[in-house]
Amino acid sequence: MNCSIVAETFVTKFNIKENYIYAKVHWANNETDLFCIQIFSSDRSWSGSFSYEQAKSFEERLHENRIEYSENVKNALKRNSDMFLYDFKQLEKNPCESEFCWKKKFADSTALLVHGIVTVQWDVPTESKDCIIDYLLKENEMLQNTIESLKRNNETLNSELDECKSEFEKLIDIKDNLETTLYGKFIQLLNSKKRRIQLLEEHVETMESKHS
């Protein structure tokens, strides 16, 4: 398993020849597979996996390194890019198996290149779309909990920020008071020095007048 690939689960809806299918993808959740996938269409479901060995063969064929290929596959499965087209069809040699394929488009061209194929087996017993709904509800609950936690953290941070602002304003007041006090003392000291100098000058003048 590539340590740089982070495990996650996501659900994607695909429109294939005017038919909608849903794919629940477990990304990099074990040591041998880049992803495991479960596909739901009508009242049927299929499951399969795409191994790192399969990924390697496509990497070599497409001249993409492991990280680049993995990112492109994830973008394709999440439909984060409009550069991919999809197909899902039953295998003639085995009606219990189907293939999910994603093809990459070339810029300024109608040419398509197969970017990956995963074979899936018909689930027996089949799973309904309810499991996707349950998963999405759970994800939504987790997101709501995360949002609430972030809100609480934000409120705490805002409270701490207000306290810091208040302390900063107090420090500014203390600084201003200290500067005023120090300035006053400096003026007093300066006036005292001036007075002493004046007295010394007067004393010197008095002494000079006595000796003249």
180-196 tens-digit pLDDT: 899 889 999 888 888 88
Q: Closest by alpha carbon to 24, among 14, 34, 9, 46?
A: 9
* Amino acid 95: pLDDT: 86
Decide: pTM greater than 0.75. no
Q: What is the pLDDT of residues 15-53, one digit of tens each?
A: 998 899 999 999 987 889 999 999 998 888 999 999 999
Rounded CA gap, 117 and 84, in Å? 13
- Helices assigned H by DSSP within 63-124: 66-78
For the domain that residue 103 is a member of, what is the CATH number?
2.170.210.10
Rounded CA gap, 20 and 16, in Å? 6
Residue 119 lies in a domain: yes
Number of domains the chain contains:
1
* Amino acid 37: pLDDT: 96
Residue 102 lies in a domain: yes
* Amino acid 109: pLDDT: 76
What is the share, in percent, of the chain residues with pLDDT greater than 90?
Answer: 51
Q: Which domain holds residue 31?
A: 8-128
* Amino acid 205: pLDDT: 82
Residue 120 lies in a domain: yes
* Amino acid 139: pLDDT: 79
Q: 119 or 207: which carries more pLDDT confidence?
A: 119
Q: Closest by alpha carbon to 102, among 76, 72, 67, 66?
A: 76
- Beta strands 44-51 and 112-122 are antiparallel
Secondary structure class of 187 (helix, strand, coil):
helix
Residue 46 lies in a domain: yes
Rounded CA gap, 29 and 183, in Å? 70
Tokens of 123: 């689930």
